[in-house]
Amino acid sequence: MFEVEISQRAKKSSKNLQAHYRHRIVEFLLMLRENPVPAEFYDIKKLKGYVDTYRARIGDIRIIFEVEWDKHTVNVLLIEPRETVYS
């Protein structure tokens, strides 16, 4: 079982999202506890140039997270629309 830690920036930006996105994001975060890279259920890709950092796509929303395998921790860094997450 992994521990999921959400950054302050991700918490703040997720409050501005529509309700249907928030529900899907909560389901995704709960799944991260069991499987830190659930690629069979979600569109997940490893980010180039980073170690163990991934992005998940839920509609127009992107979730950037990193996995610390040795500590059994998933750090959610960003939860934002595609237009702002990569800039």
Q: How confident is the model at residue 87, as a pLDDT?
A: 65
Q: Has residue 52 been placed in a domain?
A: yes
Instruction: Compute how many other C-beta atoms are within 10 angstroms of the C-beta atom of residue 76.
Output: 22
Number of domains in the chain: 1
CATH number at residue 19: 3.30.2310.20
Q: Has residue 87 been placed in a domain?
A: no
Q: What tens digit of pLDDT does each residue of 50-75 get?
A: 999 999 999 999 999 999 999 999 99
Q: Are the C-beta atoms of 72 and 35 separated by less than 8 Å?
A: no
pTM: 0.91
Q: How confident is the model at residue 83, as a pLDDT?
A: 87
Structural domain boundaries, residue 57: 3-81
Low-confidence residues in the chain, pLDDT < 50? none
Nearest to 4 by CA among 78, 65, 73: 73
Q: Has residue 86 been placed in a domain?
A: no
Nearest to 56 by CA among 80, 72, 73: 80
